[in-house]
Amino acid sequence: MTTISQIPKPEADKFKNGRKLLLVPIYPLPYHASTEGEKIIQKYWSQTTAQIATLQKQLGEINNIYHESIFEKEEQAFNLIKSTNPKGEFLIRQLIENSASLQITEDRNLVMENSDWQRCLTVGLISEKVFNKAIKEYQNSLDLRYQFISDQIDNTLTENQIGILFMREDHKIQFPKDIQIFFIAPPALDDLKKWLDKTMSEQQMPTQDTQPDENPEEPIIMG
């Protein structure tokens, strides 16, 4: 996997042939981020946009856009992006204005099944047998999702085209071997990860005055 900083200008030509895929990591974010968090998130997306623009100058324009959980077309797809990745929506719309096409990336049934198994695991199962079955089925549905995404990219990204995938960093997708992968990793990515780790730790840290919360899990968005 290649990052943008690893492509010296004189060598950029050798990457121009063949299929290419840019990977943009997205992360679960709290709906109500702190002022510090908002600045870090905005910086991350600003630097990500700049790196993609630089990479397009070296390799060519992006043709296809892929995004996790997208199993609809056009406006239905954007409604989902607005709710799950609002910080990245502007960048995606920019790419579409520059002639990129938003592709169906996932299978609806697999996404729903995987989501349901995830919900089962978050309710606090009592039976070890049921818990183990839920873990197994969750992982199986996740593996099927990853395979479907890989197949969709393989079937829709044609020779010498460039795609971009917005996906959680911890995915286990096995991409076709002939596709060159470029990981978008702006300097602010490290700051974003540190802030997320800090925020998660603070949310999980009990205090003397803490009372049980009927809704302990704050809604999340992707960023």
70 within domain boundaries: yes
Of 141 and 80, the structure prediction assigns the larger pLDDT to: 141
Q: What percent of the chain has pLDDT over 70?
A: 84
* Cβ partners under 8 Å of residue 153, min gap 6: 21, 64, 66, 105, 163, 165, 175, 176, 179
Give me the count of residues in the chain.
223
- Structural domain boundaries enclosing 37: 20-204+216-222
Residue 91 domain-assigned (yes or no): yes
Going by pLDDT thresholds of 50, 70 and 90, the confidence category of residue 30 is: confident
Q: What is the pLDDT of residue 28?
A: 78
Tell whether 186 is covered by a domain. Answer: yes
Residue 5: inside a domain: no
Percentage above 90 pLDDT, the chain: 64
**Domains contained in the chain, number:** 1
Residue 146 lies in a domain: yes
Give yes or no for a contact between 176 and 154, defined as CB atoms under 8 angstroms apart.
yes
Global pTM value:
0.83
Region of poorest pLDDT, from 6-15, 66-75, 213-222: 213-222
Q: Which of 34-38, 56-60, 197-201, 213-217 has the highest mean pLDDT?
A: 56-60
* 93 in a structural domain: yes
Band of pLDDT at residue 107, cut at 50, 70 and 90: very high
Question: Tens of pLDDT along 195-223?
Answer: 998 888 877 655 444 443 444 333 344 55
Ramachandran region of residue 69, left (φ > 0), alpha (ψ -120 to 50) or beta?
A: left
Please name which of 87, 47, 116, 38 lies closest in space to residue 221, comparing C-alpha atoms.
Answer: 87
DSSP states along the chain: -EEGGG--GGGGGGGSSS-EEEEEEE-EEESS--HHHHHHHHHHHHHHHHHHHHHHHHH----EEEETT--S-HHHHHHHHHHH-HHHHHHHHHHHHTT-EEPP-S-HHHHHHHHHHHHHHHS----HHHHHHHHHHHHHHHHHHHHHHHHHHHHH--TT-EEEEEEETT------TTSEEEE---THHHHHHHHHHHHHHHHH---TT----SS-S--EEE-
Confidence of residue 96 (pLDDT cuts 50, 70, 90): very high
In a domain, 6, yes or no: no
- Whether 211 is in a domain gets the answer no
